[in-house]
């Protein structure tokens, strides 16, 4: 966003005036300290008179810095790991014993069978990768048409985009999801069934 703003010769105050959003919010979004909802991204794209997809393109990443191995590792045996049940999914969290992870893996059994029954789409900071382990599901999001994913198919996307998985067919549907958001942010996006967490 900062590169686009500078390219257009605008200050944060200019963008604030064009979008009606506070300078502090825009500054936090530019520095990666805050993720924005689709609605706010839409306001920014309209205020800057650009296609919204420009806000999702990424500049070349700086070269990786080599660091010493930490020796961290975690083994989760089949069928083990803490779990959370929601109205839409059953989650199992492998490697839950490691704190401050960069990535958070989840095994998700998808229960909901229609987008109407899903409710509000989920959002969380960071990015998400999902691989269908069993069955079929449709991936819904607020920027693209629904996509059918079969066993072995995968998807990688921006977690701040509203999204949800819906099982297709009669059989079970299970996915492996790996998110770059921290565990607290992911859990705050869930709506556990009363008494579970």
72 has which bridge partners?
Answer: none
For 18-56, the pLDDT digits (tens) are 989 999 888 888 888 888 777 888 888 888 888 777 776
Residue 97: its pLDDT value, please? 83
Please check the confidence at residue 140 and state whether its pLDDT lies above 90. Answer: yes
Share of the chain above pLDDT 90, in %: 35
CA distance 107 to 93: 7
CA distance 7 to 25: 20
Q: Which pLDDT band, with edges at 50, 70 and 90, does 81 fall under?
A: confident
What pTM does this model have? 0.62
Neighbour order of strands in the sheet with 83-85 = 83-85, 89-92, 104-110, 174-179, 127-134, 154-158
Please check the confidence at residue 165 and state whether its pLDDT lies above 90. Answer: yes
Across residues 154-158, what is the average pLDDT?
A: 96
Please check the confidence at residue 197 and state whether its pLDDT lies above 60. Answer: no
For 51-70, the pLDDT digits (tens) are 777 776 655 444 555 667 77
The single-letter DSSP state of residue 151 is T
For 99-124, the pLDDT digits (tens) are 778 888 999 999 999 999 998 899 88
CA distance 12 to 172: 49
């Amino acid at each position: 966003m900062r590169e686009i703003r500078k390219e257009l010769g605008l200050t944060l105050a200019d963008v604030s005036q064009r979008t009606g959003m506070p300078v502090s919010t825009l500054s936090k979004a530019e520095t990666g300290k805050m993720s924005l909802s689709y609605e706010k991204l839409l306001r920014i794209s309209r205020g800057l008179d650009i296609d919204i997809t420009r806000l999702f393109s990424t500049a070349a990443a700086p070269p990786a810095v080599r660091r010493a191995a930490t020796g961290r590792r975690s083994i989760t045996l089949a069928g083990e790991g803490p779990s959370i049940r929601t109205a839409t999914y059953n989650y199992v969290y492998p490697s839950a014993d490691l704190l401050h992870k960069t990535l958070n893996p989840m095994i998700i059994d998808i229960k909901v069978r229609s987008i109407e029954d899903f409710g509000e789409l989920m959002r969380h900071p960071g990015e998400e990768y999902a691989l269908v382990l069993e069955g079929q599901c449709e991936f819904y999001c607020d920027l693209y048409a629904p996509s059918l994913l079969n066993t072995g198919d995968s998807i990688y996307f921006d977690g701040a985009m509203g999204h949800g998985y819906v099982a297709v067919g009669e059989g079970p549907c299970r996915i492996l999801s790996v998110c770059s958001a921290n565990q607290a942010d992911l859990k705050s996006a869930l709506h556990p069934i009363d008494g579970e967490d």
